[in-house]
Amino acid sequence: MDRSLRNVLVASFGFLLLFTAYGGLQSLQSSLYSEEGLGVTALSTLYGGMLLSSMFLPPLLIDRLGCKGTIILSMCGYVAFSVGNFFASWYTLIPTSILLGLGAAPLWSAQCTYLTITGNTHAEKAGKRGKDMVNQYFGIFFLIFQSSGVWGNLISSLVFGQTPSQGSGVLAVLMIAAFLQPIRDVQRESEGEKKSVPFWSTLLSTFKLYRDKRLCLLILLPLYSGLQQGFLSSEYTRSYVTCTLGIQFVGYVMICFSATDALCSVLYGKVSQYTGRAVLYMLGAVTHVSCMIALLLWRPRADHLAVFFVFSGLWGVADAVWQTQNNALYGVVFEKSKEAAFANYRLWEALGFVIAFGYSTFLCVHVKLYILLGVLSLTMVAYGLVECVESKNPIRPHAPGQANQAEDEEKQTKM
């Protein structure tokens, strides 16, 4: 097994262990702690913390601690949240939700940066296209990562009222610390970029990237990703599953979502090099639009048991597109500003979650579905504009150490 794939697997199984403890907890928050809105408030606080940390922390921590150090530090926030759920109250869930939120953006930004660098480095050595390897590595990662939803929800369902042990989160921290190899951005160093960047420049790099008009269009992708995940984990589980079948079915329905999401993730990572990402984005959009229209028309009943699983499975088919292709797209399009790009990604995804959980308690279900339909439509239009720009300005393969800064600058201004 080559070194790159080994590191991808270590990172993937580390996240699997971490989110086995966290995934089941997240799915049950709005249903298990529904009294006085504690569950939804905890989720809103969590993503509010993530929103705040996305603005400043990821580039700063990655620059100072590296990807590996940032992942280890951020994972500790998840462990704290799992512990807090064992003594669930306003005084434990809200503070630990803030801790998790502050660590979530650096964690995911570091992970995405690590996979992007690993994919590009391996592609350069193997003589392959960087975007194909990045897509493949994200597919492998999300195959393993999304299966955490299966195990976490299975534990929550079989032992209802009990939450997955925080021990798996501790094991995740130990695994990353012991086996994940630190990685350097060789391409960036070979192009002569200074290793020491001023503190304030690093701190504000997330906002500086908005000079690139492509980012201004692509922010709708993570925004929609957050909205649709928030709808599934909060609204679908509560308003459809819990109200009709009972809370004991929430875990099983989410297992179907996670299993489908995991299998489709690795599939998309493989086929994207043949179909291109635009085809996969169309698949995701059509699947979600079909689900939303059907949910608007459907009147759920207890004897419609299979339908509840069909909807969650189809939602996973589409979500796998947003997870694998969005992250790979950001890594490829903003290759020279990966840390800031992924920080922006987490910022807008967190905003989507906050909005979804924020209006969860006072908007009707059909209104939320119309909002999702509208945002998805705008998202696909904006994405299509970026694809048009990218197709007119293809990134040509270049030899190691050869800079293509001029091409990047030209793309940023040609809109």
Q: By mean pLDDT, which of 109-123, 177-191, 202-216 is the weakest?
A: 177-191
pLDDT at 156: 65
Q: How far apart are CA 226 and CA 314, in angstroms?
A: 17
Mean pLDDT of the chain: 85
> What are the CA-CA distances from residue 216 to residues 85, 211, 213, 263, 381 (Å)?
37, 8, 5, 31, 13
The sign of the torsion formed by the CA atoms of 208, 214, 219, 222 equals negative
Q: Which amino acid is at 401?
A: G
pLDDT at 288: 97
| DSSP string across 62-83 | HHHHHHHHHHHHHHHHHHHHHH
Q: What is the mean pLDDT of residues 27-48?
A: 68
Question: Smallest Cα–Cα separation from 185: which of 413, 406, 408, 400?
Answer: 400
Q: How does pLDDT run across 216-251, given as a tens digit for each residue?
A: 999 999 999 999 998 998 889 888 998 889 888 888
Q: Which residue has the tokens 């094991």?
A: 171
Q: What is the mean pLDDT of residues 345-369?
A: 87
Question: Smallest Cα–Cα separation from 70: which of 98, 107, 101?
Answer: 107
The sign of the torsion formed by the CA atoms of 349, 179, 146, 365 equals negative
Q: How far apart are CA 293 and CA 165, in angstroms?
A: 38
Tokens of 329: 């797209």
* Confidence check: pLDDT of 144 > 80: yes
* Confidence check: pLDDT of 164 > 70: no
pLDDT at 401: 40
Question: Smallest Cα–Cα separation from 213: which of 356, 62, 334, 47?
Answer: 334
Q: How does pLDDT run across 69-116, given as a tens digit for each residue?
A: 999 999 999 888 888 877 777 888 889 999 999 999 999 999 999 999
Q: By mean pLDDT, which of 219-223, 249-253, 369-373, 384-388 is the weakest?
A: 249-253
Tell which wins on pLDDT, 193 or 266: 266
Tell which wins on pLDDT, 380 or 335: 380
Burial 133-152 (b: 16+ CB within 10 A, else e): bbbbbbbbbbbbbbbbbbbb
Q: What is the mean pLDDT of residues 180-190?
A: 70
Q: What is the mean pLDDT of residues 125-150?
A: 91
- Whether domain 3-183+210-393 has CATH 3.40.50.150: no
Q: Are 136 and 269 in contact (CB under 8 A)?
A: yes
Q: Are 348 and 257 in contact (CB under 8 A)?
A: no
Question: Smallest Cα–Cα separation from 314: which of 294, 287, 280, 348?
Answer: 287
DSSP code, position 302: T
Q: Report CA 78 to chain centroid distance, whole Å.
A: 15
Q: Are 175 and 13 in contact (CB under 8 A)?
A: yes
pLDDT band at 206 (very low <50, low <70, confident <90, very high): confident
* Confidence check: pLDDT of 410 > 60: no
Tell which wins on pLDDT, 122 or 399: 122
pLDDT at 162: 53
> What are the CA-CA distances from residue 65 to residues 61, 154, 187, 198 (Å)?
6, 35, 19, 15
Can you list the positions of beta strands (E) in 289-412? none
pLDDT band at 399 (very low <50, low <70, confident <90, very high): very low
Provide CB contacts within 8 A for 261, sequence distance 6+: 142, 146, 149, 316, 317, 319, 320, 323
pLDDT at 328: 94
Task: Indicate the SS3 state at residue 162.
Answer: coil
